[in-house]
């Protein structure tokens, strides 16, 4: 698997350090009103698992599955809700936990839907932010790391469902998703 990685961006140690910082910040910001942490499947599963243990509050948890990627590394533009919350968002302080914000379509759709559903507050914590690729205006409230315009995998993030279990974040080699033409 690691032979497909062009460059390591964040090591397990760097990730752990940053997640601890985010957890501390969230613990302070939500003191007295613990949030419902909403993980976006599947990409945020490792980030949410680590962040959950860094938040020192009696938080609760739910999951949604929203997709804006039609194929491989290209965005289809359409957002599809595959799995909704188990309980309505009404009156809840919701903190959406996302793996990466790219075009911004997924999160602007999801945040809008949660607000329309009557959530008391909606904030977003994304592990990675790729602002160079924004197609719709969207700013997350908490950002782990900002990354350049490259396709990254690992720590929950995939290419065609692979590489999610890499313990680091790396840039996927372009020969994996755009192999050279063979003659």
Give the C-alpha separation, 26 to 154, whole Å: 24
At its nearest, how many Å lie between ligand IMP and the CB of residue 120? 24
Site string for ligand IMP, 119-148 (x = CB under 6 A): ------------------------------
Closer to ligand IMP by CB, 13 or 162: give it: 162
**Nearest Cα to Cα of residue 80 among 70, 71, 89, 94:** 70
From 50, 99, 102, 129, the catalytic residue: 102
At its nearest, how many Å lie between ligand IMP and the CB of residue 53? 22
**Nearest Cα to Cα of residue 27 among 59, 61, 62:** 59
Question: Quick check: is 102 catalytic?
Answer: yes
Q: HEC profile for 31-58?
A: CCCCCEEEEEECCCHHHHHHHHHHCCCC
Applying CB under 6 A, which residues contact ligand IMP?
Answer: 40, 43, 68-69, 75, 98-106, 151-153, 157
């Amino acid at each position: 698997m690691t032979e497909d990685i062009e460059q390591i961006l964040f090591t397990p140690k760097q990730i752990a350090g940053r997640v601890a910082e985010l957890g501390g910040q969230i613990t302070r910001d939500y003191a007295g009103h613990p949030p419902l942490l909403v993980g976006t499947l599947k990409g945020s599963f490792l980030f949410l698992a680590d962040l959950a243990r860094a938040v020192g509050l009696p938080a609760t948890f739910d999951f949604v599955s929203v997709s804006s990627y039609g194929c491989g590394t290209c965005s289809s533009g359409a957002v599809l809700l595959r799995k909704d919350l188990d309980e309505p968002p009404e009156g809840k302080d919701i903190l959406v936990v996302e793996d990466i914000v790219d075009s911004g379509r997924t999160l602007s759709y999801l945040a809008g839907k949660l607000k329309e559903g009557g959530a008391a507050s909606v904030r977003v914590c994304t592990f990675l932010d790729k602002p160079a690729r924004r197609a719709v205006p969207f700013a997350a409230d908490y950002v782990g790391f900002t990354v350049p315009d490259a396709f990254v995998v690992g720590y929950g993030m995939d290419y065609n469902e692979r590489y999610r279990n890499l313990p680091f974040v790396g840039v996927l080699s372009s020969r994996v998703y755009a192999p050279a033409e063979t003659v």
